[in-house]
Amino acid sequence: MELRGKSVLVTGATGGLGQAIARRLRAEGCELTLTGRRADLLEPLAKDVNGTALVADLSTSDDVDRVAAACAEVDILVANAGVPGNGPLEEYTVEQLDRVLDVNLRSPIVLTRLIGERMLERGHGHVVFISSLSGKTTTPVTSLYNATKFGLRGFALALRSDWVPRGVGVSCVNPGPIAGAGMFHDGGATLPAGVKPRTPEDVAAAVVRAVVHNKAEIDVADLATRAGATLALLAPQTAARLGKFVGADKVAYHLAEAHKDKR
């Protein structure tokens, strides 16, 4: 799909990756609608990219419906909003756990169902899900996050077989650790030696590539991290042992502690 002049909804635009995605799509000539809860960040960003700000809490079904109604005619949905959802499951209340599922999994699925309706009628459109390499590989104390990201990736790949023949592209962008801004960066963890993080701009470039070339999946990570994720699909227990050996477990425990206030 050619991007110039297309209307795009980007959820989670106030975050590290969302801001980069919004700016890149604007540079490609898109007309943007941006969501987030923090109006103090969202409104200046929307002004900067000549877009529309929609303050919304995607853990509530009313706000998801309101965003879908306001954006029913968009050409492209980038479902990016997400929360870390990490830490031991047994520390979560059911209310906290529901919030992770609602933001990371329910809201992208419902937005796709509602906004996808017109895309299918027109026989034209694209949905990009920002999943994660945590949709392919697991670490300790990330069970809930893994559940949402494996779920989102499975949803995207299956939906792609249904919708691509009807003219609507579906892509999954899977970032590994991203430096400079975003939830990994905010967690302040040190990566294992030899792992090179990517940037929010790399994720934004992957979103553009996914839409322009109608890609099924794009992993945004260095070779070693992508190789680890591929091994995890083939031999999850071996990959988990290797992850522990190279220090990925330590990173996961560190982030779970650092993200406690985001539950």
Ligand X SMILES: NC(=O)c1ccc[n+]([C@@H]2O[C@H](COP(=O)([O-])OP(=O)(O)OC[C@H]3O[C@@H](n4cnc5c(N)ncnc54)[C@H](OP(=O)(O)O)[C@@H]3O)[C@@H](O)[C@H]2O)c1
**Residues engaged in binding ligand X (CB under 6 A):** 12-18, 36-38, 56-59, 80-83, 103, 130, 132, 175, 177-178, 182-184
Which residue pairs, CB below 8 angstroms and at least 24 apart, start in 234-237?
Answer: 236/137, 236/138
Residue nearest to ligand X (CB): 15
Tokens standing for residue 214: 């109608």
**Is 92 designated active site?**
no
Spatial distance between the Cα atoms of 67 and 53, rounded to a whole number of angstroms: 11
Nearer to ligand X, 12 or 169 (CB): 12
Least distance between ligand X and beta carbon 240 (Å): 18
Residue whose CB is less far from ligand X, 45 or 74 = 45
From 32, 34, 131, 145, the catalytic residue: 145
In whole angstroms, the minimum distance from the beta carbon of 25 to ligand X comes to: 15
- For residue 2 the two structure tokens come to 């050619």
CA distance 30 to 26: 5
- Give CA–CA dist 18/216, Å, rounded: 20
**Token code pair at residue 120:** 């299918």
Closer residue to ligand X (CB): 120 or 181: 181
Residue closer to ligand X, measured from CB, 32 or 83: 83
Residue 12 C-beta: closest distance to ligand X, Å: 3
Please name every residue paired with 170 in a beta bridge, in sequence order, or none if there are none.
127
User: Distance between CA atoms of 72 and 105, rounded to whole angstroms?
Assistant: 19
Rounded CA-CA distance 173/178 in Å is 13
CB of 215 to ligand X, least distance (A): 17
Angle, CA of 112, 116 and 122, to the nearest 5° = 165
Q: Compute the distance between CA of residue 225 and CA of residue 133 in angstroms, rounded to an integer.
A: 9
CB of 235 to ligand X, least distance (A): 22
The residue (of 66 and 124) whose beta carbon lies closer to ligand X is 66
Beta strand 31-36 with 217-220 is unpaired
Which residues are known to be catalytic?
Answer: 145
